[in-house]
Amino acid sequence: MNAAHTSFYMLAGYVATSIAAATGSFWVALAAAPVLVAAVGLALERAVLGRLYTAGHTAQLLLTVGLAYVIAEATKMLWGDSALSVAPPPSLAGHFSLLGATLPVYHLFVIAAAVALLGAVAAVLRFTRLGMVIRAAAANPDMTAALGYNVRHIYSAVFVIGLYLAAFAGVVMAPMAGVYPSMADDQLVQAFIVVVAGGLGSLPGAFIVAMLLGLVQGFGNIYAADEAVYFPFFVLGAVLLFRPLGLFGAKAA
């Protein structure tokens, strides 16, 4: 239960701005920043978070909320309160036409990267032995440990993979939305809605709700800009009204 997940998203954006400024290359920042942030996350997981795996979700939630505040203040100390930006690479700086609309090429890159990462995660979880072990450890850690697997290492691996994905997102979003101190809070609400409405532990549910949320917000920003900020909560309420456990949520055994 990681309430600091989007804080690592924000941290990757700041790290990417420094790497891009030092090297002059967005691609170097994209390659290096997620790895560095995931390494920081692994150190924290080993030192602090891993001690609470058996303490329940409440303890994990409280600790990661505190960790989110620490990361937020640390980024302000290192990079200040001003918004920063990363220029997209020249190869992705153009525009293209689609159905009469002119869209930045960089947006197409972000969509393609998201689809590729989602496909990779889904393939690993569903079609590999590693994915089978991860799903088993999530469903029944005691039985998985009895079969000879180190559940502690599995948890660490999943945690780091999740942080890498969050960090990758933070870097690719930096040229579009900029990097600023409250970007973690802005994305935390979206992530909460996607996870809860999709159903805890459901990758297909998260994907469907994320797509729905994007469409609702997109049309809302065009046709009802002043009220669009409330639309994500309408989606959450509508889903939970008919599916209290989320689209693909299931009761625990």
Region 26-44 average pLDDT: 94
Please tell me the least confidently modeled range out of 63-67, 98-102, 167-171: 98-102
Q: Of 183 and 247, which is predicted with more confidence?
A: 183
Give the pLDDT score at 250. 63
Given CA atoms 163, 168, 171, 175 in this order, what sign does their dihedral have? Answer: negative
**How far is C-alpha 152 from the geometric centre of its chain's CA atoms?**
22
Separate counts of helices (H) and strands (E) for the chain: 10, 2
Residue 28, burial from CB neighbour count under 10 angstroms (0-12, 13-18, 19+): middle
Region 240-245 average pLDDT: 85
End-to-end CA distance of the chain: 19
Q: Of 24 and 221, which is predicted with more confidence?
A: 24
What confidence tens digit (pLDDT) does each residue in 117-164 have?
Answer: 999 999 999 999 999 999 898 888 889 999 899 988 898 899 999 999
Give the pLDDT score at 160. 92
Q: What single letter denotes the amino acid at residue 46?
A: R
Question: Residue 209: which of 174, 176, 240 has the closest Cα?
Answer: 240
On whether the CB atoms of residues 167 and 79 are closer than 8 A, the answer is no
The residues that bridge with 97 in the sheet, in sequence order, are 102
On whether the CB atoms of residues 199 and 249 are closer than 8 A, the answer is yes
Question: Residue 34: which of 13, 18, 20 has the closest Cα?
Answer: 13
On whether the CB atoms of residues 2 and 192 are closer than 8 A, the answer is no
For residue 16, give Cα distances in angstroms to 4, 38, 78, 86, 210: 19, 13, 13, 8, 25
